[in-house]
Amino acid sequence: MIETLDDPLRPEQVGWKFARLKVLHDAGVRVPPLFCLTGDAYRRAVGPLSARIDDVLDGVDPQDWHALRDASARIRALVEGVRLDGASRTALREAVERWFPGPDTLLAVRASVLAGRSDQGEDSADHPFAGMSDSFLYVRTEDVEEAVLRCWSSAFGPESLLYRRRQGLSTRGLAVAVGVQEMVLGERSLVMFTADAATYARRVVISAGWGIGEGVVQEKTATDHFFVTPGTDRVERTVASKPTMLTLDGERGHGVVETEVPVERRDEPVLSDDEVVSLARLGRRIEELFGAPQDIEATLTPDGVVHVVQSRPIAMEPARHRVWSNANVSESFPGTTTPMTYSVARRFYALLNHDYLRRCGVGERRLEEVADSTGRLLGYLDGRIYHNITSFTTMLSALPMFEGLRRDWERLVAELDTVYHEPARPPAGPAERLRRLGSLTTGWTRAGRNLATLPRDFAAFERAWQRLLREKRGPRHEPAGRHPLVLVADFREVWRAAGRLWGVTLINYQFMVLYHKVIEQLLKRWGSTDHDVLFSQLLCGGRQLRGAEIALGAVRLGELVRDDERLLARFTEADPRELWQELESGRLPADFAAAVRSHLRRYGDRGIEELKLEQPNLRDTPWELLKVVRQYALSGVRVADLEESERAGRADGEERLRRLLPDRPLERRLLLFLFDRLRTHLYYREAGRYMRSELFGYSKQVIAALGAELHRRGVLADPADVFLLDLDELFGFVDGSGTTHDLARLAEVRRRDGERARRLTPAREFATGDVVGTSVPHVEEPAAARAGQEVLSGLGSCPGRVRGRARVVLSPALGEDLAQDTILIARETDPGWLYLMLAARGIVVERGSLLSHTAITGRKFGIPTIVGVSGATARITDGSLIEIDGASGRVLVLEEAAS
C-alpha cells in the first residue's frame, strides 16, 4: 500500500501524477521527497461502498447541476465517514514517521484519481482533470489521515463527475492514490507551459506569482506572465500589480492564509530574465523526457532553487488542431498565387502521394482510410499555399516506418521550428507491438526493394512521361482552337497517367533525405568542425543536374553571341522583342536560331515561379530567353569556367576529407560512396522537378486555351481571369458538373481577395485550434539593418567571401539586369531563378537547407551562398554595400543605401 521514489511508482498503482514525478526524479530534476498511499488502500476502505455510490450516481441526470451537486455531497460524506483499516493506518503512520520525522514537519497531501483504464485516469495524456482533485498544503503529520480521506472523496466532486460524464468516461471502478510530500516553503511559484495550450506554438509561457502555487494554479492571486521565443532566449513579459499572496498561516503554524505582498515587491517582476531562460530550458528538458508539451508546476525557495511538484501533458482536441507551414512549399509556390494554381497543386500532391503510398506497399483499405488527408495536404490561406502538416502526418502514418523517421521528416522536409506537432501514440499491449513489428519488417523490406529498383523505375518513369508528353503536345494536340470538352478530356487523361507515374519521385526523395542524415551524422561523429562546407563541396561533381543543364544551355547561347561580333553588336543595341522577331523572320544567323529553338523546345517550361499557372514561362515569352542570353554574353560568363569552379570545389572538398581522416581510408571511401549515392538522388530529384514543370506547363496551356474560349463566348471579362477560378469550377462549367455559372463575378471576388492577400505578411509556420479562416496570424516585417552591424547568421552553403551591392529581388524577371558586383537577396528561389543566379556574385535567401535549390546552385557553380537568413529581404536595403561569408553564414552591412 506504500510506494516511494525508490519503487517503480507505476501509473496503475499510484496514478499518472506521481508516476511522472518518479520519471523526473530519476532524470535528476529536483522533486520534493514523497511517498504514495496506493489505490489498494482506497479499495480496501471504500470498496464496500461501491454499490451505494453507483446507485446514487445512476439516479442522477448529469444535465441537472443541482442534482449533481447534491449527489456529490452525499457520496463525499460516505467516503469521508469511513476509516482506514488497521493495516492501512499502521502503514501510513509508519511511512510518515520514517520519511518525515520531526514534530514541526509540514506536508502536502495530494490526490490522483485512478480509473479502470489507465488512459482515463487523472493527468493522463487526454484527461488532465486540472484542478478537480483536492490538495492540502502545510498539513501537520497528525492530520495526514484526515487529509487522505478528503483526497479520496474529492474524486466525486461535482466538477469531476460532470467532466467524466461530458467526456463519456465511466464513474465505476474509480480509486484514488494519495501522495504525501514534503511541503516546500517556496516564496515564488509558477505554472509553465512548454507550448501554447491553444495552438501548440513552441514558445514557453510562464505564469508566476508570490507565495505558494495554489494561488497561481487556482488564480487566487495576480501573476506576471513571461514568454520565451523558440530557438532564442529572448524574453517578453507582462508584469502585474500583485497585492496579495497565499502562504503559510503563521499564527496557527499550519494551513494556508492570504497575506499582503510587501509593498516594494508588488510591482516588481517575480522572475528575472535569467531565471525565466533557465526555467524555459528546464521545461524543454522535461518535454523531451515525456515526448510531448508539458504543463509544469514548480516553486522556488528563497535560495533560488527550483522544485518541480507536477508535470502533465497539455491536453488538446486533435480534431481542432492544424499545423501549417510554407517553409518547404514556398520554394515552388512563393508569395501569393491564384485559386487555379492552388487547385492544380492540391490535385498534384494528392496523386503524387497516393502513388507513393501504393509503391510503398500500403494496401487499398489503408489508402482509403487516409484518402481524405491525402486530398488535403495543401491549404490556401490568405492567397498563399501552405503544407497542412497535420494531414501529412496522418497520411504518412500509413507507413509503419514513419514514426521512427518522424523527427527527421519534421526537421528536413516540413522544416518545423516554432510549432510542436503531437506525435502518434506508441503501440499498447504485446499484440499491437507484435503487429507493428511485422508491419515494420514488411515496410523496410519493401523500402529495400524500392531502393534496388529505383534506377530502373526512374528510367521507366522518364520514358513513359516523355512519350505521353510528345503525344499530347504534338502538332495535332495544340490547345488553341480545340473544343473545350476535348481539352478537358485530354487533361484528365494526362493526369490519370501522371497518377500512376509520379510516386517514384517521392521514393527517391525519401532516400535522398536518408543519405543526407547518415552523412551528416558521420561527419559530426568523425570530428568535422566545418561539416557544412565539406558537405557542400563533396556534393559537387557527378551527372549534370537538369536545372544546371538548362542554365548552361543558355550560357552556351551567350557564348555563341559573344563569338560573333555582328551578332553581339545587334544584341547590345536591340530590344529582346525585336531580336525575337528577327529570329522568327530568319534575320539572325541560322545556327544560332536553331540552337535557340532547340533550347525552347526542350526547356520551354522553365520560368520564374514556373509552377504558378498565372506566370508566363519561356514557351509564352521566348524573348525573355534572349534577354538572359544577352546578360551572359555581356558578362563574359563561360561554361568552361563554371564547370572548372565545380571541379575545384570538389577537389578542395576531397582534400579537406583527407585532412579530416588522414589515416582512415575506409571511412573516406565510405563517405565518398555515400556522397555519390546522394548526388544520384539529387539528379533524380532535379529531373523529376523539371518533369513536374512540364506537367504544370501543359496544364497551363490547356487552362489558358479554355480561358480564351470562355472570353470569346462572353463568359469571362478577360482570358487571364480563368486563373482566378479553381479547376473544378472551370471544368464544371464546361462539362455541366459545376455549381456556379456567373464566373465573371466569381473572378471579380477572387481578384479582390488577391489584392487583400498581397498586402499581408504571412507567418512562415503556425498552428490553429479554431476555424482556420479566422485564425491565420500575420507577422511584422523585421527592422532594417544598420551599416556596420551583423544582419543575421544563416546556413553557409558555398564557401567564399565577397563584397557587393545588395539587389533585393521579390518579383524577379528571367532576364533581370544585374551589375557584376551584385549580391542577390531573395526570400527563396525555384529552378527558374537559375538563369538569374548565374549572373550574381553572391546569393542570400531567407529559406532553404543544404539540399535546397539555392544551396545546390551556389556550390555547383562556386557562387558564395547563404540560406536560412531570416528576414533578409526586409533587413537588407536594396543597394547597400554588404559582405557575405559563405562558409560561416554571416552577412555584414558595410554601407547602408541612401533611402
Same domain flag for 131 and 251: no
In a domain, 283, yes or no: yes
pLDDT at 462 (0 to 100): 96
- Assign residue 121 the CATH number of its domain: 3.30.1490.20
CA distance 59 to 48: 19
Same domain flag for 840 and 822: yes
In a domain, 357, yes or no: yes
Greater confidence (307 vs 213) lies with: 307
Which structural domain range is residue 233 located in?
188-316
Which residues sit opposite 228 in a β-bridge? 204, 235
pLDDT at 126 (0 to 100): 58
Same domain flag for 310 and 341: no
Find cell 533525405 and name the residue. Answer: 513
Same domain flag for 394 and 306: no
Q: What is the pLDDT of residues 386-412, one digit of tens each?
A: 999 999 989 998 988 887 777 777 766
In a domain, 573, yes or no: no
Which residues sit opposite 890 in a β-bridge? 793, 885
| Per-residue DSSP letter, 721 | G
Q: What is the CA radius of gyration of the chain?
A: 33
Using pLDDT thresholds of 50, 70 and 90, give the confidence band for residue 170. confident
Q: What is the pLDDT of residues 670-725, one digit of tens each?
A: 999 999 999 999 999 999 999 999 999 999 999 999 999 999 999 999 999 999 99
Greater confidence (125 vs 357) lies with: 357
In a domain, 548, yes or no: no
pLDDT at 412 (0 to 100): 65
| Per-residue DSSP letter, 297 | E
Contact assessment for residue 183 and residue 206, using Cβ atoms and an 8 Å cutoff = no
- Assign residue 840 the CATH number of its domain: 3.50.30.10
Please name the residue ranges forming H helices in 144-228.
Answer: 144-153, 158-166, 213-217
Greater confidence (424 vs 773) lies with: 773
pLDDT at 281 (0 to 100): 93
| Per-residue DSSP letter, 201 | B
For residue 14, pLDDT over 60 is answered with yes
Same domain flag for 197 and 256: yes
For residue 239, pLDDT over 60 is answered with yes
Same domain flag for 142 and 193: no
Same domain flag for 754 and 818: no
Last residue of a domain, one of 153, 182, 211: 182
Angle at 826 between CA 876 and CA 509, to 5 degrees: 140
Q: How far is CA 266 from CA 209, 237, 331, in A?
A: 10, 15, 51
Residue 475: Cβ-neighbour burial (10 angstroms; 0-12, 13-18, 19+): exposed
Q: What is the pLDDT of residues 129-150, one digit of tens each?
A: 554 678 898 899 999 999 999 9
Last residue of a domain, one of 182, 206, 221: 182
In a domain, 544, yes or no: no
pLDDT at 127 (0 to 100): 56
Read off the pLDDT of each residue in 229-237 and give the average, rounded to a whole number.
Answer: 79
Cα distance from N-terminal residue to C-terminal residue, the chain: 76
Same domain flag for 734 and 835: no
Q: What percent of the chain has pLDDT over 70?
A: 92
Same domain flag for 254 and 193: yes
Our count of domains for the chain comes to 4
In a domain, 785, yes or no: no
Angle at 823 between CA 690 and CA 844, to 5 degrees: 60
pLDDT at 537 (0 to 100): 86
Please, what is the average pLDDT of the chain? 87
The cell for 587 is 534575320
Read off the pLDDT of each residue in 364-380 and give the average, rounded to a whole number.
Answer: 96
Greater confidence (649 vs 368) lies with: 368
CA distance 130 to 114: 14
In a domain, 598, yes or no: no
Model pTM score: 0.77
Using pLDDT thresholds of 50, 70 and 90, give the confidence band for residue 849. low
For residue 260, pLDDT over 60 is answered with yes
Residue 162: Cβ-neighbour burial (10 angstroms; 0-12, 13-18, 19+): middle
pLDDT at 12 (0 to 100): 87
Q: 309 CB contacts (<8 Å, ≥6 apart)?
A: 21, 31, 32, 108, 181, 184, 213, 297, 298, 299
Same domain flag for 369 and 427: yes
Side chain identity at 625, as an amino acid letter? Answer: L
Same domain flag for 91 and 202: no
pLDDT at 851 (0 to 100): 61
Last residue of a domain, one of 758, 776, 800: 758
Greater confidence (232 vs 450) lies with: 450
For residue 294, pLDDT over 60 is answered with yes
Which of the residue ranges 48-62, 89-103, 342-356, 816-830 has the most confident prediction, judged by mean pLDDT? Answer: 342-356
- Assign residue 311 the CATH number of its domain: 3.30.470.20
Give the three-class secondary structure for 444.
helix
In a domain, 633, yes or no: no
Same domain flag for 364 and 400: yes
